Amino acid sequence: MKKLTLTTWLLTLSLSSAWAEDEDTTAADTPASSSSVVQADVERVMPTPQQTRIAGLIDRLSGNYGHEIETLNAQGTDFLGLFRESESGDPQGCLIMLHGDHGHPDWPQVISPIREQLPVHSWCTLSVEVPDIGGRATPVSISANEDDGAAPEENPALPNEETVFARIDAAVQLIRDKGYSQVAYMGYRTGAAYALRFAAERGTSNQALILIEPRTFAPVSEFDLAQNIERLRLPVLDYYFNRTARDTRFARQRQAAANKRTNRQAAYTQIDALPDARYDPSGNKRLVQRVWGFMKQNTNQQSQRKELPELDKELFYDSPND
C-alpha cells in the first residue's frame, strides 16, 4: 500500500512539472494581451498649466468683459492681451503690464487692481500674457564642474527673453494702432525682470518704468539684473516689499546701480512698500495711488485739465521747514 502511494505521488509530481513547462512556453510565445496593447498605445496627456489658466481666464471674462480681450501675435504665435481704454477725456498714454511667472494677465495681486483702476486716471492699460519659465517641479541643475575656467557671461539673457521682447513690441504696435502715443512699462516679479531688461536693451527713454517686487531666474542672478538699472534712460519706480534679508540685499544692489547712472535727470524712486503688501481694497488703493502718482509726475502729460505743480516732487518731498 505504501509503495503504491509513493508511485502515485511521483507520477503526480512529474505531470505537474510538465504542465508548468507547457504554461511557461505558452506564455513566452503568446503576445501581450489585448488590454496591455491598448494601454501601451494610449497617448499620454501632458499637462498644459498655462494654456489651462489662459483658457479659464478667457472663459471668465468673455461674458461681461469680452471687449477687453485682444489676440496678439509675435513670432508666429498668438497670445492674450487684456486692454482697457482710458476712462477720461484727456488720455495720457498706455501702460503695458507683464505678470509674474505662472500667472496670467488678470492676476489678482498687483496686476488686476492696476489694470482696472489706472484707466480712471487717464491711462489705458494693456496686460499681456508672459510664457511660463519652467514647471513648478522642474529639478534644479547643478554644474558638475564649477571651476572649469570659463568666464561668466557678461550680460546673460533671461529665459524666454526674445519671446517676451517680441510680445512687448507687438503690444506697443497695438497701442499705437489705437491712437496712443505715450507708452509706459510695468512688471510684477519676473515680469519686472523682463520689463527692466527690455528698457535697458532697447535704450528706451522719455517714458516710465514701474518695477513691482522684482524677481529673477537663472542664469541671471539678482546682482546681474540690478546692473541693468545703470543703463536706463527713463524714470523708474522701484516698488518692493522688504520681507527678508535677501530682499534688502537685492534692493541695495538696485539702488547702487541707479547711483552709477550717467543720466541722473531721470528719476529713480525706490520704495519699501511692505505696509502696502495687503491684498485688500485699502492695500490695492494705496498701490494704485503710488503708481499713478509716479507716472503723473514723471511722464509727459498731455492736455491736462488741471495744471501740475511746477515743483518736481516725485511721490514725496521734504518740506523746507523740516
Whether 135 shows a pLDDT value over 70: the answer reads: no
User: Positive or negative, the Cα torsion across 308, 310, 314, 318?
Assistant: negative
Is the confidence at residue 72, as pLDDT, over 70? yes
pLDDT digit string (tens) for 9-55? 545 555 555 554 554 544 445 455 444 555 556 666 667 888 888 98
Q: Which three cell numbers stand for residue 236?
A: 523708474
Structural domains in the chain plus CATH codes: 66-132+156-298 (3.40.50.1820)
**Residue 179 above 60 pLDDT?**
yes
Contact 208, 298 (CB under 8 A): yes
Per residue in 192-204, pLDDT (tens digit) is: 999 999 999 998 8
Could you tell me the three cell numbers for 108?
A: 489678482
- Give the mean pLDDT of 305-321: 51
Confidence of residue 283 (pLDDT cuts 50, 70, 90): confident
Sign of the torsion formed by the C-alpha atoms of 109, 112, 115 and 116: negative
Of 151, 148, 164, the C-alpha closest to 196 is: 164
Lowest mean pLDDT among 76-90, 117-131, 136-150, 216-230: 136-150
